[in-house]
Amino acid sequence: MKKIVSMLCIVTLLTAIFGLTCSAAPTDSFTRKNEPGSEVSTVLARESFAVAQTITASTLGLDEALEGLTDAYSGSDGKVYLLCGGDGASRVIILNDDYSLYKELKLVDADGEEMYFGGAQGIFVDSKNLIYVADTDNARILVTDESGVVKEIWGVPESNYIPDEFTYQPSRIIKDDKGYLYILSLGNYYGALSYSPEGEFLGFYGANSVQATVLDTLAMLWEKLTSNDVKKSQSSKKLPYSFVDLCIDSSGYVITCTGKTENSQNGEGQIRKFSSDGSNILFKRNPDGSATSSSSVNFLEQEVIVADGSSRTQNIVAVDTDRLGNIYALDQTYGLVYVYDKECNLLTGFGGGYKTGDQLGTFGKAVSLCMHGDSVLVLDTETYCVTVFEPTDFGKLLFEAQDMYIRGDYDTAKDLWTQVLTLDAGNQMAYKGLAMATYGEGDYETALQYAKDGLDYSIYDLAWQEVLSGFFARNFIWVALLVVAVIGGAIVLMVRVKKRQLVLIHDPKIKTFNSVIFHPFRSFEELKYKKQGSLVIAGILTVLLFVAVVLQSTAGGFLFNTTTAKSYNVLYTLLETVGLLLLWSVSNWLICSLFSGKGTLREVFTASAYACTPLIVMTFLRWLLSLFLPLSAAGFLSGLTTVAWIYTAFLLCIAMITIHEYDFFKFLSTGVGIVFLMVVIVFMLFFTMTMLNMCKIFVSEFFEELLFR
């Protein structure tokens, strides 16, 4: 009868269905806040940039609208060069430093014939005021000066470095202080074409790489082992994404951006900085002091945005830097400008206006940006205008303070950070800067509080070590006497108990539980055959497991705490502890009943709870130690936790073998069925909840219709 009931329960559970999620993006001035557990949240922030003016044909006194805006460049002569190279457009607008019209330039050849460059996407002006226009559709670079007479035309270079399948479509141009020229070509995944100061083609510089997973590697090996000519002709190769824009920072390094990708995260790895040898040297400093390559950093929102039933992947189309080395990236999808410092920390974000650029400071279709001094110019090809953003007093203060912090001038930055906090009390970077400054001054207690507010684990750890060192230096004698007293008292108690043969515990069920850790075989045999297992003790252990995990998650030391009150849900902890233990017990009893298992549901639950004793003890111990130990002890705590998990699994194995009277191999085979049934039960619960919710909605809408009729 027991087998029939078990079979019916298992068959009833064999079905599952589950659903989807979505998220939204910010539209006002915003920044990001680091949260425990490597989580990042987007929060509104004080404005660092404000709209100063918009540049249109009417403000410049031009008859024709600024149609076809594709790129802009701020020259060393203080002028701004706007490229109108879209469809039907073919001119360069030169502005003075105050954004008044200096000249409208149309290019002509040596014979005075006007040259059409509709489709041109990039413009650059070198220190000699030579203007380079990337005439994309015509596969050439036009070199001219303010006279508009084209002096040189650069086509595709003739070189063995150029692959046969290469299509030359120049889209962006830059030149460094040494005279080396870099050209991007649309759809080219080899990197930027580089030229020497003498104009000699040197090859390709920098490139994105394909990030292959273990499954990708195994698939590639399998394909090589099993491929034939037919399969090769039908197979497709995963290629790197191409750069869409590049610039040179104040230190002479080339910075690139990649447009839309299909990475697991929306903006992962889209900005890079290359050294002279073409390797990426842009890194993000993490709260714990470690560094992550920008290839793994998500520069945009955490997830692909879903709105109006469609996914809108963000698309970085332009990048530039300011005098401090901060990186400005333009997302075309939502018209957002992201500003990062040299360590990939988001200083601010602003803009917006997806397809609704009718409000000041928003865009219809932003196509490019450039820095002009400290101002940001954003080109909107849909509204035919250029929006000029200038830094606010707060923005200047924030950027200057962060620059000093990165350069290590913590003392000078302290006053600036204090001013930042008076204007933005929640600024996380200000707390980090003040934590470092107060730590350098030896005020470790204050540094701890600032580091906690700024979620800076590295500074908190350094200050905490100093606090601990100071405490033990002042109280070494008392601490040593306390330790000796505790150890001595324990030894004396053990000797007296053994010498006088004292029995401290008389209840046989409690004795059985106490011997589980050190004598598991004997304990589980007594539980099975002498009925010495206690359901009350098992229930207490289950509650203690839940309490231990809650304490570890919510009340642990700052250096080891990975949750916040906002993100923590006690229901999940209840399911992960009590729910999982009950699920294991029920699934174990159902499966083992079909395979001659001798254990009852009560025995299975009791033995499983007893087996969790090492894990419960270790979880409480880890919580207590996390209140005192520095971050350097993380490896030690992780090691203890791993040992506890392994020993718990060992006890669980012994318990189930003893309870069901199995051998080891039969336990393993039934274990697979138990895990499978656990998964099925979870899926079925989700399915049932989904169906009940749908029924609730149906009934609610049904009665609403009846009321309206």
pLDDT of the residue at 130: 92
pLDDT of the residue at 632: 82
Coil/strand/helix, residue 449:
helix
Q: Give CB contacts under 8 A, 24+ apart, made by 207-215.
A: 207/240, 207/278, 208/240, 208/241, 208/242, 208/243, 208/258, 208/269, 208/272, 209/240, 209/295, 210/238, 210/239, 210/240, 211/263, 211/269, 211/295, 212/238
Residues of the chain with pLDDT under 50: 1-2, 4-27, 210-222, 230-240, 264
Q: Which residue has the tokens 């923590």?
A: 568
Coil/strand/helix, residue 519:
coil
pLDDT of the residue at 20: 30
> What is the rounded CA–CA span in Å between residue 377 and residue 266?
25
Neighbours of 685 (CB within 10 A): 15
Coil/strand/helix, residue 157:
coil
pLDDT of the residue at 459: 92
pLDDT of the residue at 244: 87
Neighbours of 547 (CB within 10 A): 16
pLDDT of the residue at 261: 61
Distances (CA, A) of 15 to 21, 584, 677: 22, 19, 11
In degrees and rounded to multiples of 5, residue 165 shows phi and psi of -85, 5
Coil/strand/helix, residue 179:
coil
Q: For residue 543, give both structure tokens.
A: 């509650």
**Which of 304, 416, 239 is closest to 25 using CA atoms?**
304
DSSP string of 61-125, one letter each residue: T-SS--TTEEEEEE-TTS-EEEEE-STT--EEEEE-TTS-EEEEE--B-TTS-B---TT--EEEE
User: Which strand (E) or helix (H) includes residue 217?
Assistant: helix 214-226
pLDDT of the residue at 501: 64
Coil/strand/helix, residue 644:
helix
CA atoms within 13 A on the CB side of 622: 29
- Whether 123 and 73 have beta carbons less than 8 Å apart is answered as yes
Helix axis angle for 601-611 and 535-554, nearest 10°, is 40
Q: What pLDDT digit, counting tens, does each position of 420-463 carry?
A: 999 998 899 999 999 999 999 999 999 999 999 998 889 999 99
pLDDT of the residue at 210: 45
DSSP string of 666-705, one letter each residue: HHHHHHHHHHHHHHHHHHHHHHHHHHHHHHHHHHHHHHHH
* End-to-end CA separation in angstroms for the chain: 54
pLDDT of the residue at 1: 47
**Which of 47, 24, 39 is closest to 337 using CA atoms?**
47
DSSP 8-class letter at 530: S
Neighbours of 484 (CB within 10 A): 10
